[in-house]
Structure formats: structure tokens, C-alpha cells
Structure 1
Amino acid sequence: MNILGIHHVSAMTKKAQQNVDFYTTILGMRMVKKTVNQDDPSMYHLFYGDEVGNPGTELTFFEIPQIGQNHNGNHSISTTSLRVPDDEALEYWRDRLTAYEVDHDGIQEAFGRHVLPFRDHEHQRLMLVSDEGEHGVASGTPWEHSKAKREYGITGLGPIHLTVPKVDWLESIIVDVLGFTFIGDYNDQKARTVHVYSVEEGGTGAEIHVHERFDLPPERLGRGGVHHVAFRVADEQELQQWIDLLNQNEVGNSGFVDRHYFKAVYFREPNGILFELATDGPGFATDEDMEHLGESLALPPFLEDKRTQIESILEPIHL
């Protein structure tokens, strides 16, 4: 039983079309699945990733039209990193973000790597991280039809940043149960210590960066905020073993959940952040041809008989 790295991150947006425009046009990611929130089919669930939506490359969004702005704070997934091939790619992205008038902080250094923090149109906290000289969990491959230069394209999810009041509480889950290892720390731009944890093959696709803060109110989730982070497990058999382990450690959880494109279990660590364990398969080509991923509204089998009703509620999205 091993956590293989980061699987996906799911965030919040107010307007699906604006979200699509930012992540496909400006960031050049591929929409690999246009579907709905399976727990509330009245809202879109949009998946962006590499050329086929490989595990570890997926950034997803729930659309909630009435949602207010996120109020950043503690007990939160506070930054989502996106991997790029090397330092030269960061220079390309700095210029591209500037040209599109995207708010960014310029190229910086964090944990011995070059990074480029920026915000999307809803103030979603994002960071490009260079994979130059990196070894560890393999990255994905940018889509050949990307609107950004493919040789500099986003190749997957990088380190996930958490902000919590109690690092030892978090360690009781990520270290004692999930098997992450503390590998070092560094100072952020304001000289505050950030603790780094890694799992399995390590590298940018398998790290959690933890900011311990005592001076922040709890985050109020809204557009521009992150709902949960998922970590990779190999298959359904191993997922069941993880559920057994969570139960043995008295970690409250959802039990087995079939998301059609992957199987999952959800639970909260003691600071209140929502975690998910998700299988690598079966993947997004389950119900669509690989060449046409994300072009049509895809529904899991249990919602297919409600397609007409669902489509009548959703506002069409143009790629």
C-alpha cells in the first residue's frame, strides 16, 4: 500500500465559461472532462489536465453561480502548484502572464526550485514550479493542440500548499497513516517557515508544503478557494485496504465512492482539510474517445436518464 503522489485538486468557480477561457486559453491546459458534480448535478464539474488527463495532472472546478468570494485563511489548501519542464519555461510563462495581464509575483525561489506565484481571475492562488533537475514522480505531457507553447506547457500538479494551525495534528494523518516523510523546510517570502513532506518516488508531484499559522481566521470557502486535494492509489483493491486502515485508525470517512472515472474515499485531517484517496483508473476515456475528451457533456451511467433535465439547467460552454 503506497500513496503514489498527488491525484487531483478540486476548486471553486462562479462562472464556468470564464473558467474555461482562463485555463484553456491562457494556461493552455486541455479540458479532459466536462461533467457535473455527482452529488449535485445542477452544477458543472470541469476537469483540466495534460493530453489525456493522467492522474497527477488534473485541476478541477465546481461551478456555483451564487458563490461568494473566497476569504483566505487558516485550515486551508492555500496554493496549488503546476509543474513546467524547466527554468526557461518559467521565463516564457512570466512573459505570457504579463501579456494577458494576469496578476503574478515574478520568478522566485522556494525549496531550491524556481517558482512563479500568480492568481487567476477569481484570485485562485496558483504557482508554476520548475522541474529543472528534478527526479521523482513522472510528469504528464502537454496536449499537442494547447494554446500555449507545448515545449513550455504545464505538465501536471506540483506541491500542494496547506495552511494549518497545528502541524502535529496534520502529521498524525499524513505521516502516521498515509506514509509521508518530512524532508526539510524553507522560508517563504516573509521569512516564515514552510515544512515539506514527500511520499513514494518524491519530487514535485508528490509533495505537501505546510505553513503553520496561528494568526489567521479560518478560511471561508468561495470562488477562488480549493475544496479538496486527492492523492493517488493504484487500484480499487488497494483503495479498499486504505479504507480499512482509515477505519482501524478511527479516521471518519465516506467509505467507498464510485466516481466512474476513478474510485475514491474522502476524509478530513484534524485541522479540517478535506482529503481524498483516488484510484489511477479507469480514466477519462471510459466514456469518450481520447481525441474528443471534454467536447460534450459526459454523465456517469446513474445520471444518464436525467440528461435532458440536467442539460436544460446548465448554461452551454464554448471551448
Structure 2
Amino acid sequence: MKIEKIHHVAYRCKDAKETVDWYVKNLNMDFVLAIAEDHVPSTHEPDPYMHVFLDAGGGNVLAFFELPTKPQMGRDENTPRWVQHFAFKVKDRDALLEYKAHLEANGIDVLGVTDHSIFHSIYFFDPNGHRIELACPDPEEEALVKRLDAVKWDMLEEWSRTKRAPKHADWLHAKELAEVG
């Protein structure tokens, strides 16, 4: 028994049309499907909704629910805004920089490029307040991931015991921290 892949990931949105338009315009996703009903199929609750699906590439689907009868959507105030996010892979640094310019030209504030050693990222928010990351692989990604793979279990065990960041992979952000310091 093995999971094949993520079928889709679904989040709430404030406005389904605005959300679809934003993802099509800013991330070049295709709008692939809409489902709207007055009753929830799984629970049979009377609750009208619009469920929209976007092609995030590579067989990945990002979906949203607009729930007009529910209180305005919020977020978990105990979780920092940077924690929960969608991360999408782009081909390379040129594509990442092209997206950054495209987003900024559309009036979107973009943070980064952030160098995570194994990949490089930019960050921004969609109109619903969901944080989005676009990431491209580092040219040395394969070798760097092997280094991380060799210490992952030791890191997890140490974290589990101490709840302090293990130092096994300090090299990941060392260059970026040196530039800030």
C-alpha cells in the first residue's frame, strides 16, 4: 500500500473568481474545473460552496473553496505567517527572476531571492493572504541534498530530544547569514 501522489490540495478563498483570475494572471496556472453545490457531499450539510481547481503543473492541482455563508476567513494567529505556504518549483534561476519581475510589475510585493543552498526562493501573498513560495533548484542541488540526507535522522532525533536546532546542516544558510551580519 503506497500513496501515488497528492490528488489536490484545497484551501479556502475569499472570492473564487478573484482567486482564479489572480492565479491565472500571476502564476500562469490553468483553470481546470469548478464544482458548486448547495450540500456538502461528504457530510450532507446544507452549505453552498464554489470549489475551483487550478493546474499547478506536473499533475499537481491546487484547489480553493469559497464559502459565502461562513464567517470571514481568518488564519491561525498562533502560527507565524511565514510557516504555512504553498511552494511551487520553477525550472531555474532565470525563470525565478522572470516571475519576480512579472509579479512586481503586477504590483505584488516580493521578498527574496533567498538562497537556501539547495534551492533559491521568492515569497509573496495571494489575495486571500496565503503565502506562496516559488523555488528553483541550485546547480549543486543533488550533492547538497545528499549531504542533508546523510544527517536527517540524527537531526530529527536530536530535535525530538532537545527542541533546539541541531547544527548538522548549519552550512545551509551560512552564506546568507554572513551577508546579513
Fold similarity call, TM over 0.5:
yes
1:86-165 superposed matches below 5 A: 89=1, 152=2, 154=3, 156-165=5-14
Deviation, 1:179, is 1.1
Instruction: State which of 63, 70, 74 in structure 2 corresponds to 1:209.
Output: 63
Partner deviation per Cα, 1:164-221 (whole Å, 9 max, x = no partner): 11123322321111111111133652463311111334x3xx2111100231341224
CA distance in 1, matches of 2:15, 2:177: 46
Instruction: State which of 141, 144, 162 in structure 2 corresponds to 1:286.
Output: 144
| TM-score, normalised by the number of residues in structure 1 | 0.41
Runs of 4+ that moved beyond 6 A: 303-306
The one-letter amino acid of 1:210's match is: F
CA distance in 2, matches of 1:165, 1:156: 27
| TM-score, normalised by the number of residues in structure 2 | 0.69
The count of aligned residue pairs is 151
The one-letter amino acid of 1:248's match is: A
Deviation, 1:255, is 3.0
Q: Taking CA–CA contacts closer than 8 Å with sequence separation of 6 or more, which of the two structures ends up with the larger relative contact order?
A: 1
Partner deviation per Cα, 1:78-136 (whole Å, 9 max, x = no partner): xxxxxxxxxxx4xxxxxxxxxxxxxxxxxxxxxxxxxxxxxxxxxxxxxxxxxxxxxxx
State the match for 2:160 in structure 1. none
Shift of the 291–216 alpha-carbon distance from structure 1 to 2, 3 Å rule, reads same
State the match for 1:173 in structure 2. 22
In the alignment, structure 2 segments of 5+ residues that lack a partner are: 156-167
1:153-302 superposed matches below 5 A: 154=3, 156-186=5-35, 188=40, 189=42, 190=45, 192-201=49-58, 203=59, 206-214=60-68, 215-217=70-72, 218-222=74-78, 227-281=84-138, 282-283=140-141, 285-286=143-144, 288-289=146-147, 292-294=150-152, 295-296=154-155, 297-299=168-170, 300-302=172-174
Q: Which has the higher strand share?
A: 1
CA distance in 2, matches of 1:228, 1:275: 5
Q: Secondary structure at the match of 1:251?
A: coil
CA distance in 1, matches of 2:127, 2:177: 39
Contact 2:20 2:31 in 1 (8 A): no
Q: CA RMSD in A?
A: 3.0
Shift of the 161–283 alpha-carbon distance from structure 1 to 2, 3 Å rule, reads farther
